[in-house]
Amino acid sequence: MSVPEKSTYPSHVVYDRNTGDIIHIFHMEVLPGAAVPKDFDPRKDALATTARLTKKGENELGIIEVDRGLIARNIHYRVDPESRQLREVARSKERPHS
């Protein structure tokens, strides 16, 4: 175990590779004095956790890192599958989200 140099990490956005629909956004913070295993990889953990919970294969999922400040509450996003960039989109009336 090691004490990390930083306490805030980039957010990891896991999305469907075909549609760009975001499945989950992972945020990670480490409290002062907390230890993290040296081999811990938040990117791998985010993919594996999402695959397990959704029963999708990891090959069906994509993941990008984004600065936490780029993700605003109450805004709907998707990932452009070609450019792998986070995009703000209008909310669909057919698929309301909270």
Rounded to an integer, what distance in angstroms lies between the CA atom of residue 5 and that of residue 2?
9
Domain residue ranges in the chain: 11-88
Name which residue leads in pLDDT, 1 or 63: 63
Task: Give the pLDDT confidence score for residue 94 in this predicted structure.
Answer: 57
Strands (E), 1-98: 11-16, 22-26, 61-66, 77-80, 85-88
Which residue is it, tokens 């989950």?
A: 24
Using DSSP, state whether 43 is helix, strand or coil: helix
Task: Give the pLDDT confidence score for residue 3 in this predicted structure.
Answer: 52
What kind and span of H or E run contains 77?
Answer: strand 77-80
Output the pTM of the full model.
Answer: 0.79
